[in-house]
Every structure is written in structure tokens, then in C-alpha cells.
Amino acid sequence: MSNARADRGPDRTDDLTAEQQYVSTLYDKLDELRRDATKRLTDTLRQTGGTPQARTERDISTTMYTDKLTQLSAVEHGLCFGRLDLDSDEVFHIGRLGLFDEEREYEPLLIDWRAPAARPFYLATAAARDGVWRRRHLRSKWRTVVDLEDEILDLDAGEQGSDLGLAGEATLLAALDARRTGQMGDIVATIQAEQDRIIRAPMNGVLVVQGGPGTGKTAVALHRAAYLLYTYREQLTKRGVLVVGPNSTFLRYIGQVLPSLGETGVLLSTAGELFPGVSATAPESAEAAEIKGRGVMVNVLNSAVRDRQRVPKEPIEVLFDREPLSVGKNLVSNARSRARRSRKPHNHARKIFRKEMISGLTNQVADRLGRDLLDRRDLDDIGAELRADDAVTEVLDSLWPQLTPQQLLDDLLSTPKRLTTAARKHLTDQERQALLRAPGSDWTPADASLLDELAELLGEDDTKAREEQARQEREELAYAQGVLHLMEQDEEIADEERLRVSDVLDAELLAQRHRTRSDLTAAERAAEDRTWTFGHVIVDEAQELSTMAWRVLMRRCPSRSMTLVGDIAQTGALGGAASWHEVLSPYVMDRWQLAELTVNYRTPAEIMSVAADVLAAMDTDLEPPASVRTSGHAPWTRQVPESDLPAVLPELVRAELDAVDGTLAVLLPPEHLDEVGARIAEQVPEAEVGDQQDELEARVVVLTVDQVKGLEFDSVLVADPDRILGESARGLNDLYVALTRSTQRLGVVHTSGVPSVLGGLA
């Protein structure tokens, strides 16, 4: 560590040279760690054969060294981005991960941004210096320091930052003005005080982060995930962290942020992907999705399950041992009542139903044969024969079948009679009609929440699974016994007192070690297990989730350790939230905290003034976030007849490309996407239509408002705002989202005059 106060006045060039030397030292250390991890991984991979225990240990080591290399590679760019000079004459450099000098008793070379010692880098002000007299921001291009910015936190100095209290203003604005790509970048070097307080908030309880467009909600949520994993490593490594996004486009967009922060063990998912084994990505109408998301669907699904627990109107005759048995209404009704009183899920209660039915049928057979002639063993034999009889099994299965969520939901949504029976008290004829579809249709995101609810109502009949597990364990035990036998044969035992392998390791223990999948991370195990509960859940665009989706997430996090990030003003889904209280009161009453983000880093003031009129037209008391910058580009508008839109938009796109150095998004109403999107892609070589990752990385992307939520671009063209407004009851919200995706320029192409809410464009 150097003397900080001796460095107060050197030439800027000298400062850059000194920082470059230090940063180069840090990269030398990073390279050393990489070489060491690579060697250890190579040595591990060269190990072959061995006992099952050795193979398991090798798998664990391989995963550990692979993860370490991934972490060390992910922090390559911007490894060190800051420095703190303290009153105590100590100097600390701040970066993406912690580096230490082993030869000097692990003296810190670089402080991890999440460590408590790094917090003044984000929170210290002239009024509350926290022992810091200078804060330095470093800007690098790969391994070269290209610029630096110093803040002297001295009450006697001039104005510090802007009236918004920004730290490292020049560095922040440089990052905001940078050209956008198809992937989101991290903000670790430019986190502001109000963001840092949210990122470092305690893990327990529900924290709601309300923030308008461009306030960094998503970045804060992801950095919070990295911070929690660093601070609560022991708890969260076991249970994992779940980050839920609104769609797969969004997840691809943010996919590199956490690895760049040194974290790879987080499960990223949409609500529709939380039911393992089901790809719930099919489209459906907004009306159908809204109906499926209602809380009343719990009652509909419960009725659908009970409807499959059937009592026959007339007795069913079944032949057993060439004699008829009567499966009558009273027998079935009593068995069903006994099973239902257990309050077990359908498939678990099915065992009780079958037991009662077999008991009743056994009594019929006993009465026919003469009960006085039979003892307990005879009755048990009759019951066993009844359980094994195919005809009896078929009848019992028809009365109380074993069901899967997929089977039941598909039957419910494709059979008008079943849907009417289950939903007549809860949905209108028109609403039931909106839900009907062809058998075997692909699953939609709204279906996934219903499948998860059904999994709770049905439970799993694990009889076959337990039988299969027992079979596998018998095979593994036999294999382990063979391994031990061969190992002992290979031993050259010269001394009778020498310990044998079997003295310290038996076959059962060996088989158990062979079965253990310790190499899987919590996130990997959670992705395969519907019943997994997470240590912490982070939800971005939380305002979009339906009541049924919230039920799924609450089951995934019974501890209610959650961070919910969103903006009520941007709710687009018909079943989305109108208030945070409405969402949370059923689960935590009023035991939740609200934190607000008030500064808009993305949207220039020129664009935000237009969007603010749309926000004012909504039924909300939310204030627009204050923009930190202007772009110098006034939003423009042009009127085009709707019939000419396919021909004119490609021309406007080419003109906008000439005016902007960066990415451009063309936002269309869904009904225009195919025709107009195809014309743009045909005439503009740089353009792609759709939301796949390779398409998002194109210079021009053509999307709907629903697809663009959470994304940002250098320039945006919004086409046909009247149609966007008229598409749904939340048209104002959709238009607000569309207008606030740009970091530099905005154009609006209208077909029938500028909508009144866009008066700022006139």
C-alpha cells in the first residue's frame, strides 16, 4: 500500500502510468490463477479408472476447477475499475473479484466490489465521507487504462457531482452513451448510492423495488443476486438463487451479466419454464392467458380433479373367478369419502380408495364363499388376487384413475363437457369458450402455472419410481460387491494383520458414493426438481405475473426471501398487477418493504418528457424518473397512411441508420409484424425480425412491444401508436414501454394523426 496523501497532486499522465502499472500487476495475478486452475483441471482430467469414490471425487474436482476458470475468464474486461484513498493513508483498489498476495500474508491486491470494505466506493459523499478523501474511477479497454476520474470528497471543495448526487459522473455518462449491443452489460463500475442500498439490503423478507424506465431495475436485481451469493454463500450455495424474467428474450439479453460478476450458479428462468420437462412457449390470446392467470382457476382445477373421482350411477358388474361382483354406488361413495377425508393429493389418496374398494369386494367374495369357513389368511389371499386381477384393476382405475398434470389439463381444455363441469360456477360461457383448444396442443406460459397447481393437487404416485429406485440400488450394490472382490484379489497381502479393503469400506457405502451427484450445482438440481425450494428468489418485471404464477413462486420460496423488481406503470399483461399490495397481501400481508429507484439513466430528458405525458394519462400516482442527461436529439414524428406503412417504414429505417451509430429497434403492433417486418428485412440487409439471440444482436431488430420489455437500444422507431393504444385495456402501459426503450433517439410513425397523449411530439 502506498501513501495516499503523497499522491494528491501529480500530473494526470503520471496518474495514468501508475494505475496502468498496478492494473498490469493485477492481470499478472489473474493469469497466474488461471494457469494454476488450468493445470489442476488438466491433472484431474488425466486421471482415469479408479474406484467409484475416486471417480466421484474426480467429477467434483472437475466441476470446481471448470467453474473457477469460468469465473476467472468472465472478469477479464474491467477487472479493476476503482480506487479508494483513505484518511488513514491506505489505498484500496476495487474490482470484480478479490485478489490477494499469498507471499505477504494474503494482503489484498484487489477488493471484491461486494465486500464491506468496498461499500464507500458507492456510498461516500462529501457530507458523509466514511474516511475517504478521494474516490477514483478507472476506465479501461481490455487491459489498458484509458482514462480516470477523481472525486475529492472535501466539504470545502466546489460542487460535487450533479444535483442528482451522481458518483463518478463522467464515468457514468460515458457508460450510458456507449453503443448498445444485443446483450446487457453490468453496471458494477457505476453503481449509484440509491442502487447500492438496494443491492446490499438484508436477504430476509420481501423487498419490492419500484422503478420507472431506465432506472436500472434489472441491473440492480442481477447485482443483488451476485451480492447475496457473496455475502450468504453458505446458505445460498445449498438452496440456490432463482432469477425469474418475463420471457426467454429477456433471459438471453441478461445472460452474461452474472458470469461477468463472477457468479455462474444462478438459475435463470421464466415463469413458464419452472415446470420441469415442459416447454411452455406456445402463443395464445391475451384473453385466454388472463383467464388462466386468475386465482379462481384454483377452484376450477380442484373441481376438475374431483370430477375424475367418479361414483357410478348404476352398479358395475365385474367377473372375478368366473363369478360376478357388484361395484355399486354405496361401496364407491364410501370409499371415495374415506379417501377424500385424508386430504391427501389425488394420486396419494387413490391408494386409500383402492384399499377400501378391495376390502369391500373381498367381503363380497367372502360372503359368497361362506365367511365362517375363511380365516384371516384366506381373506388376505382373496384381497391379493383382487388387486392382481386385470378386470378389477380396470374398473377401479376408471373410478379413480392415476393422473398426471399434463394429462388432466389437456383433457380439461380440449373437452367442452369436462370444462363446463369444472368451471360452470367460476367462468362464463364466453370465458370457457376462450379456453377451449385442440387435444395435444402445445403448452403456453400460462399453462405452466396451471400444471404446477395440478401437480400440488394430484401429487405423484411414486410406487413405480420407488420400485425402479430399489432395482437400481440392487444392481449398484451387486456392482460394488464385484468391485470390492476384484480389489481384494489384486491385493498382495504379506501380513495377515494387514487391513483389507472390506475392513474400511463395505459394498453398500461404496454403492452410495457411486450414486451421489455431488458435482451438480444447486441451480442444476433445482432445474430438474419441481419441489425444489430456493434460498432467495428475484423476480424482474414482477408486475407482469398473474395470480397463478405468484402461487408457483411462493411455493418455490416458502421462506419468503424475495426481491421483486418492477414498475406498475409498465404492466402490460391483462392479468398483471395494479398495485404491489394487491400482489403481496395474500402471502405476507403488509410485511414487505418498498424501495424506489428515482433516477433515469437510460432515457434522455427529450424522450422522457414525451413519455411523461403518457404516464400522466394513466390511473396512477407514480412520478416519472428524473433523467440524468440529454441527448441533443428531439423526438420526431411522421404521418403515413396505414396502407403505405410497409413501403415507407424501410425507407425510414435506412434514414435512421444513417443518423445513429448503434442499434435500432422498430416496434410494431403484432398484426403488422409479419407483413411489415418481412418488407423491412427484405430491403434493409442489417435487419432481423424476431427475438432470438442472434437476431437481437443484429443492428436492426423488428419486434412487438411485448417482446421488447426490459431491453434497450440506441434508437427506436414506434409504428402505429394508435393501434398499440387500442390493442388492450393496458394500451397506455404498452406505449409507455415502447417510448422508453431508447438511449439516444426516438421516432414515431403514426397513421391517423398524433394520439392526444403524445402531445409533446407536436
Q: Sheet containing 99-101: which strands, arranged edge to edge? A: 99-101, 107-112, 91-95, 80-86, 132-141, 144-152
Asked if residue 707 belongs to a domain, the reply is yes
What total of structural domains would you count in the chain? 4
| pLDDT given for residue 494 in this prediction | 42
Summarize pLDDT for 244-278 with one digit per residue, the tens.
Answer: 998 887 888 888 888 778 787 789 999 999 999 89
Residue 211 assigned ligand-binding role: yes
User: Do residues 122 and 237 share a domain?
Assistant: no
Residues 308, 457 contacting (CB under 8 angstroms):
no
| pLDDT given for residue 47 in this prediction | 81
User: Do residues 250 and 375 share a domain?
Assistant: no
User: Do residues 668 and 710 share a domain?
Assistant: yes
Asked if residue 521 belongs to a domain, the reply is no
Residues 78, 94 contacting (CB under 8 angstroms):
no
What value does the mean pLDDT take over residues 400-408?
97
Grid-cell match 391475451, residue found: 286
Summarize pLDDT for 288-314 with one digit per residue, the tens.
Answer: 999 999 999 999 999 999 999 999 999
Summarize pLDDT for 368-385 with one digit per residue, the tens.
Answer: 888 888 889 999 999 999
Q: Which of 739, 726, 749 is nearest to 640 (CA)?
A: 749
Asked if residue 500 belongs to a domain, the reply is no
Rounded Cα gap, residues 347 and 337, in angstroms: 15
User: Do residues 162 and 20 share a domain?
Assistant: yes
Summarize pLDDT for 179-199 with one digit per residue, the tens.
Answer: 666 677 777 878 888 999 999
Residue 499 pLDDT greater than 50, yes or no: no
Asked if residue 468 belongs to a domain, the reply is no
| pLDDT given for residue 481 in this prediction | 63
User: Do residues 137 and 208 share a domain?
Assistant: no
Residue 137 pLDDT greater than 60, yes or no: yes
| pLDDT given for residue 466 in this prediction | 58
Residue 82 pLDDT greater than 60, yes or no: yes
CATH number of the domain bearing residue 662: 3.40.50.300
**How many CB atoms lie under 10 A from the CB of residue 760?**
18
pLDDT-above-70 percentage for the chain: 86
Rounded Cα gap, residues 268 and 241, in angstroms: 9
> Could you please report the per-residue DSSP string of 22-40?
HHHHHHHHHHHHHHHHHHH
Summarize pLDDT for 31-73 with one digit per residue, the tens.
Answer: 999 999 899 888 888 887 677 677 777 777 887 888 788 788 8
> Could you please report the per-residue DSSP string of 473-515?
HHHHHHHHHHHHHHHHHH-----TTSPPHHHH--HHHHHHHHH
Residue 218 assigned ligand-binding role: yes
Q: Which domain holds residue 690?
A: 605-761
| pLDDT given for residue 247 in this prediction | 83
Asked if residue 316 belongs to a domain, the reply is yes
Summarize pLDDT for 8-37 with one digit per residue, the tens.
Answer: 445 678 889 999 999 999 999 999 999 998
Summarize pLDDT for 327-344 with one digit per residue, the tens.
Answer: 999 999 999 999 999 999
| pLDDT given for residue 683 in this prediction | 93
Q: Where is the domain boundary, 422, 441, 458?
A: 458
Residues 687, 738 contacting (CB under 8 angstroms):
no
138/126: higher pLDDT: 138
**How many CB atoms lie under 10 A from the CB of residue 404?**
15
User: Do residues 256 and 323 share a domain?
Assistant: no
Q: Which of 154, 187, 152 is nearest to 172 (CA)?
A: 187
Asked if residue 393 belongs to a domain, the reply is yes
Residue 217 assigned ligand-binding role: yes
Rounded Cα gap, residues 37 and 57, in angstroms: 16
pLDDT-above-90 percentage for the chain: 55
What's the whole-model pTM score?
0.81
Q: Where is the domain boundary, 401, 425, 458?
A: 458
Summarize pLDDT for 679-734 with one digit per residue, the tens.
Answer: 999 999 989 987 665 666 789 999 999 888 888 899 999 999 999 998 877 899 99
Q: Where is the domain boundary, 406, 436, 458?
A: 458
What value does the mean pLDDT take over residues 582-596?
94
DSSP 248: H
Residue 293 assigned ligand-binding role: no
User: Do residues 165 and 248 share a domain?
Assistant: no
Residues 285, 445 contacting (CB under 8 angstroms):
no
| pLDDT given for residue 201 in this prediction | 95
| pLDDT given for residue 490 in this prediction | 52
| pLDDT given for residue 256 in this prediction | 80
| pLDDT given for residue 702 in this prediction | 93
Asked if residue 142 belongs to a domain, the reply is yes
User: Do residues 414 and 294 share a domain?
Assistant: yes
* Residues 345-355 as b or e (16 or more Cβ within 10 Å = b): bbbbbbbbbbe
Summarize pLDDT for 608-619 with one digit per residue, the tens.
Answer: 999 999 999 987
User: Do residues 542 and 566 share a domain?
Assistant: yes
| pLDDT given for residue 67 in this prediction | 78
Residue 49 assigned ligand-binding role: no
What value does the mean pLDDT take over residues 229-242?
89
| pLDDT given for residue 5 in this prediction | 44
Summarize pLDDT for 97-120 with one digit per residue, the tens.
Answer: 999 998 888 889 999 999 999 999
Residue 575 assigned ligand-binding role: no
User: Do residues 754 and 619 share a domain?
Assistant: yes
User: Do residues 294 and 441 share a domain?
Assistant: yes
Asked if residue 476 belongs to a domain, the reply is no
User: Do residues 560 and 622 share a domain?
Assistant: no
Rounded Cα gap, residues 119 and 94, in angstroms: 10
502/483: higher pLDDT: 483
